């Protein structure tokens, strides 16, 4: 035995000094999933679409501030009031721009999630990766947290962080009184953005755990999102307002409008179709989104229990 140890030492192998640092188990799972997603060209193209929504919203914010400064320069007389009112009717205000960003970016992020991470659970089922994951000292909780972390980081990067950047830009370039007014929008806006992040992450892992192929899940996830939106908006327009709560994007737009204090829809947003119609009650809309999130996570957890007992 000692001879064998001497030969190993002579070759050049050495014992690692000290104990190896312990790593948080969910992070490698999340990091691997994101690294694989970023290799896809379709992921980069769809991420560019999310970036376009961010840029367009930023342009609207700059336009609103410039017109607001012009109205402020003209004073509080009839001229300034007319310019300010006309500008708000045409391009809207910062409240509407930030709320519209959250609603629109939720839809583009849903497409991005479906394309980039649609197979995050399905591919593990298809390839039998559960045996590899749980051959080590990995708990079911670590797996769940790792997958949710990977999925949740995408809407965080496309909705939460851009919202903060837009808010900082709006506060920074707005005139003094208007800038102070906008300071109070950060917490309500973040609540809406985080709610969108949770809903998207939970529903994606739920749908992904049903199938076994990432491409199929990507099409299914986006299709369900579009069908629910079409069904909810169509029935609500036909005189059944309760059906509007079936559309997740409509629910989120209702919540964002309520939290950010949106008073009306601008002419530009209406003409370009950038805005979603809203529901009568923000509270019921919030309950609907929480329900979608709960259903998605329940499906994910139930399917995982069939493969992993502990």
Residue 92 is assigned to a structural domain of this protein: yes
10-14: long-range contacts, CB 8 A cutoff, minimum separation 24: none
How many folded domains does the chain comprise?
A: 1
Ranges of the chain with pLDDT below 50: 1-4, 79-80, 82-83
DSSP helix/strand/coil, 248:
helix
Give the range of the structural domain holding residue 238, as residue numbers without chain letter.
Answer: 24-307
**Residue carrying structure tokens 């502990």:** 310
Q: What is the CA radius of gyration of the chain?
A: 24
> How many residues appear in the chain?
310
Residue 178 is assigned to a structural domain of this protein: yes
Residue 15 is assigned to a structural domain of this protein: no
Tell which residue, 202, 242, 207, 240, has the closest CA to residue 224. 207
DSSP assigned state of 245? G
Residue 7 is assigned to a structural domain of this protein: no
Residue 151 is assigned to a structural domain of this protein: yes
Q: What is the pLDDT of residues 175-221, one digit of tens each?
A: 666 667 788 889 999 999 999 999 999 999 999 999 888 889 999 99
* Burial readout 215-241 (b: 16 or more C-beta within 10 A, e: otherwise): eebbebbbeebeebbeebbebbeeeee
Residue 8 is assigned to a structural domain of this protein: no
User: Using CA atoms in the order 236, 242, 247, 251, what is the torsion angle rounded to 10 degrees?
Assistant: 110
Question: Residue 80: CB partners within 8 Å, gap ≥ 6?
Answer: 71, 72, 73, 74
CA separation (Å) from 30 to 146, 148, 161, 208, 250?
Answer: 5, 8, 19, 15, 30
Q: Give the per-residue pLDDT at 198.
A: 97
Residue 240 is assigned to a structural domain of this protein: yes
Residue 6 is assigned to a structural domain of this protein: no
- Contact, 308 vs 135, CB < 8 A? no
Hey, which bits of 83-165 come out as E strands? none
Tell which residue, 198, 201, 174, has the closest CA to residue 65. 174
Residue 162, both tokens: 């851009």
> What is this structure's pTM?
0.84
DSSP assigned state of 21? P
DSSP helix/strand/coil, 22:
coil
* Cα(7)–Cα(2) distance, integer angstroms: 9
Residue 285: is it exposed, middle or buried by C-beta count within 10 angstroms (0-12/13-18/19+)?
buried
- Contact, 185 vs 262, CB < 8 A? no
* Cα(164)–Cα(249) distance, integer angstroms: 20
């Amino acid at each position: 035995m000692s001879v064998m140890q001497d030969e190993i030492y002579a070759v050049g192998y050495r014992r690692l000094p000290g104990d190896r640092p312990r790593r948080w188990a969910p992070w490698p799972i999340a990091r691997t999933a994101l690294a694989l997603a970023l290799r896809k060209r379709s992921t980069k193209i769809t991420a560019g679409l999310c970036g376009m929504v961010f840029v367009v919203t930023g342009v609207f914010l700059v336009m609103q501030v410039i017109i607001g400064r012009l109205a402020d320069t003209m004073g509080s007389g009839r001229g300034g009031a007319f310019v300010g009112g006309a500008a708000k009717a045409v391009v809207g205000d910062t409240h509407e721009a930030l709320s519209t960003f959250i609603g629109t970016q939720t839809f583009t992020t849903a497409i991005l999630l479906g394309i980039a991470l649609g197979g995050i659970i399905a591919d593990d089922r298809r390839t039998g990766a559960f045996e590899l994951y749980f051959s080590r000292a990995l708990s079911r909780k670590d797996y769940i947290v790792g997958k949710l972390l990977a999925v949740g980081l995408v809407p965080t990067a496309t909705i939460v962080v851009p919202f903060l950047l837009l808010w900082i830009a709006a506060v920074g370039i707005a005139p003094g009184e208007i800038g102070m007014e906008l300071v109070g929008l950060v917490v309500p806006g973040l609540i809406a953005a985080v709610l969108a992040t949770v809903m998207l992450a939970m529903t994606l892992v739920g749908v992904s755990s049903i199938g076994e192929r990432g491409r199929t899940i990507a099409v299914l996830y986006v299709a369900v999102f579009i069908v629910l939106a079409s069904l909810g908006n169509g029935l609500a327009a036909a005189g059944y307002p309760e059906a509007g709560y079936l559309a997740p994007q409509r629910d989120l737009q209702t919540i964002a409008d309520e939290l950010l204090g949106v008073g009306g829809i601008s002419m530009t947003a209406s003409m370009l179709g950038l805005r979603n119609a809203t529901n009568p009650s923000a509270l019921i809309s919030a309950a609907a989104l929480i329900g979608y999130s709960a259903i998605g996570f329940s499906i994910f957890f139930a399917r995982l229990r069939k493969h992993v007992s502990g």
